[in-house]
């Protein structure tokens, strides 16, 4: 078995994906006598817009053994409790996709079903009133979990907003301390062996670097996975028609809010990501329905502060590689595919891919059954996230532009049709095989998008109505008192992790 071990790995490309891979591989393989090398060219640059995350990133940070306060300081990060969606269902309406629990489950039935019943009876407030993270967002509050018994303060789900460039630098330092070999250079050619596996890559200066296993983090170009191995690409533009983004940072405007904001525009949407030193902004749009100049002007007209540079345009084709792992090449980040950052899943997909890689970590035999299972699981994850993004577009009531008319009337995948139909009928969400987004996430987004179920879970009626009314009032009061206890987001940062 020892003779079959992978002894050399080359990561082609840096950026967030490259250095996430480097940091994780050097940490996990530190005792395996496996050389990890990363080749990148500073001439090429990175896209670097993925600045918002979801709570699962804490698993990755834990794997690396990060000191969270140091990580937040070094990346000029802020904390994130939710994503706020403005003008998606209709202009003037907003809702949160909040992290963590909603209310308190009772008798084995999720809280939101009880809420649906009482809401229909006019005896319940907004769903945000029963959600700690939503309530905290409205009041600009934040704290980490504390030992507080059954209080919601014992289990606060959160993620981060950070500077993607600083994050890559931070991970690079960690990886180099763990033994990463970094080379500056531009890959100009890939050599394949007789079996069609990648044998080596050649740099512009003529140097040739060989390895057993290659990780392609070369961005949209897919230098190894596509240009060398001709893997193919599944185009999802029919369902997710945006193909461009214009981005620009701007000056901060007051204390940072603990959420990402997504505001629907007439042919796409605009993101707002507050960091400690600036605000990240971008406008994702469909070039079929809007010109670059108009998209740029919409972005500039909706900034909170003075722009800190010239707007930059990025082109993309939403979709994924037909195989994420082909022969001895694994694609990560933009090399694997692209889904717009509407639900902050870009960095999570890199993290999830690395987790699966460790589950199916190969030997030199590169067993096809393991590679096939890796690809099956990865495709499933991408497709279910794709459907979650589609539901934001398709369930809108907006009819103020050709773009929204297209989204509202387009055909959607059958699995998503079933999910929407079931939710409309009785509020149920069938989560398939531990897909990325759970029942609460689907509920928050579908209800927020204006899909209001006709009924609710049948077992809810077993709970006496007067007792249920008191229970809901008690939960709302607990949320109010809990958020009152929390410091403001800025106070928490100042106390624990303010950047220099």
| Other Cβ atoms closer than 10 A to 418 | 12
User: What mean pLDDT do residues 428-433 have?
Assistant: 90
Q: How confident is the model at residue 2, as a pLDDT?
A: 62
**Cβ-Cβ contacts under 8 Å for 98 (sequence gap 6 or more):** 81, 82, 128, 131, 133, 134, 137, 444
Residue-wise pLDDT tens digits, 171-228: 999 999 999 999 999 999 999 999 999 999 999 999 999 999 999 999 999 999 999 9
pLDDT above 90: percentage of residues in the chain: 94
Residue 40 has pLDDT above 90, yes or no: yes
User: What mean pLDDT do residues 455-479 have?
Assistant: 97
pLDDT above 70: percentage of residues in the chain: 98
Residue 27 has pLDDT above 60, yes or no: yes
Q: How confident is the model at residue 419, as a pLDDT?
A: 96
In eight-state DSSP terms, residue 487 is P
Own/partner pairs, 428-431, CB within 8 angstroms, 24+ separation: 428/457
In eight-state DSSP terms, residue 281 is E
The domains of the chain, with CATH numbers, are: 2-51+163-235+318-366 (3.50.50.60), 245-315 (no CATH)
Check: CB of residue 333 under 8 Å from CB of residue 352: no
Helices (H), 310-413: 346-359, 368-394, 402-409
Alpha-carbon span 54 to 437, nearest angstrom: 11
Q: How confident is the model at residue 43, as a pLDDT?
A: 67
Alpha-carbon span 392 to 408, nearest angstrom: 10
Alpha-carbon span 213 to 300, nearest angstrom: 44
Banded pLDDT at 432 (limits 50, 70, 90):
confident
Check: CB of residue 442 under 8 Å from CB of residue 436: no
Q: How confident is the model at residue 245, as a pLDDT?
A: 96
Q: How confident is the model at residue 149, as a pLDDT?
A: 87
User: What mean pLDDT do residues 434-455 have?
Assistant: 96
Residue 1 has pLDDT above 60, yes or no: no
Residue 20 has pLDDT above 70, yes or no: yes
Alpha-carbon span 42 to 48, nearest angstrom: 13
Check: CB of residue 20 under 8 Å from CB of residue 222: no
């Amino acid at each position: 078995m020892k003779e079959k071990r992978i002894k050399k790995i080359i990561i082609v490309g840096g950026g967030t994906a490259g250095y996430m891979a480097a940091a994780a591989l050097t940490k996990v393989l530190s005792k395996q006598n496996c050389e990890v090398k990363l080749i990148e060219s500073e001439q090429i640059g990175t896209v670097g817009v993925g600045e918002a995350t979801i709570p699962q990133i804490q698993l990755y940070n834990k794997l690396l053994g990060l000191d969270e306060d140091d990580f937040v300081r070094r990346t000029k990060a802020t904390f994130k409790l939710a994503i706020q969606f403005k003008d998606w269902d209709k202009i003037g309406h907003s809702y949160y996709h909040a992290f963590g629990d909603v209310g308190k489950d009772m008798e084995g039935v999720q809280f939101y079903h009880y809420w649906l019943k009482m809401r229909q009876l006019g005896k319940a407030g907004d769903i945000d009133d029963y959600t700690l993270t939503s309530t905290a967002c409205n009041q600009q509050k934040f704290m980490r979990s504390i030992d507080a018994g059954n209080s919601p303060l014992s289990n606060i789900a959160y993620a981060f907003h950070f500077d993607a460039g600083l994050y890559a630098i931070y991970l690079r330092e960690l990886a180099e301390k763990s033994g990463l070999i970094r080379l500056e250079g531009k890959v100009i050619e890939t050599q394949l062996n007789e079996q069609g596996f990648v044998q080596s890559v050649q740099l512009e200066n003529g140097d040739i670097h060989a390895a057993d296993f290659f990780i392609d983090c070369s961005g949209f170009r897919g230098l190894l996975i596509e240009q060398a191995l001709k893997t193919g690409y599944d185009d999802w533009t029919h369902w997710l028609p945006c193909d461009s983004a214009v981005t620009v940072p701007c000056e901060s405007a007051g204390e940072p809010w603990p959420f990402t904001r997504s505001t629907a525009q007439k042919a796409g949407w605009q993101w707002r990501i507050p960091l400690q030193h600036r605000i990240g902004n971008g406008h994702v749009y469909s070039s079929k329905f809007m010109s670059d100049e108009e998209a740029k002007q919409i972005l500039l007209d909706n900034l909170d502060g003075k722009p800190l540079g010239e707007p930059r345009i990025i082109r993309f084709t939403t979709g994924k590689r037909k195989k994420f792992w082909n022969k001895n090449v694994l694609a990560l980040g933009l090399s694997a595919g692209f889904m717009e950052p509407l639900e902050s899943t870009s960095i999570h997909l890199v993290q999830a891919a690395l987790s699966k890689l460790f589950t199916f970590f190969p030997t030199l035999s590169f067993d096809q059954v393991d590679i096939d299972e890796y690809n099956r699981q990865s495709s499933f994850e991408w497709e279910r996230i794709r459907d979650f993004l589609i539901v934001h577009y398709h369930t809108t009531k907006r009819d103020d532009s050709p773009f929204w008319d297209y989204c509202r009337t387009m055909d959607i995948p059958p699995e998503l049709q079933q999910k929407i139909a079931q939710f409309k009928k009785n509020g149920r969400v069938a989560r398939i095989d531990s897909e990325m987004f759970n029942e609460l996430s689907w509920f928050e987004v579908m209800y927020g998008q204006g899909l209001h179920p006709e009924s609710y879970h049948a077992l809810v009626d077993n709970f006496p109505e007067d007792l249920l009314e008191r229970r809901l009032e008690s939960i709302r009061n607990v949320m109010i008192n809990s958020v009152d206890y929390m410091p403001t987001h800025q106070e928490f940062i100042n106390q624990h992790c303010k950047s220099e």
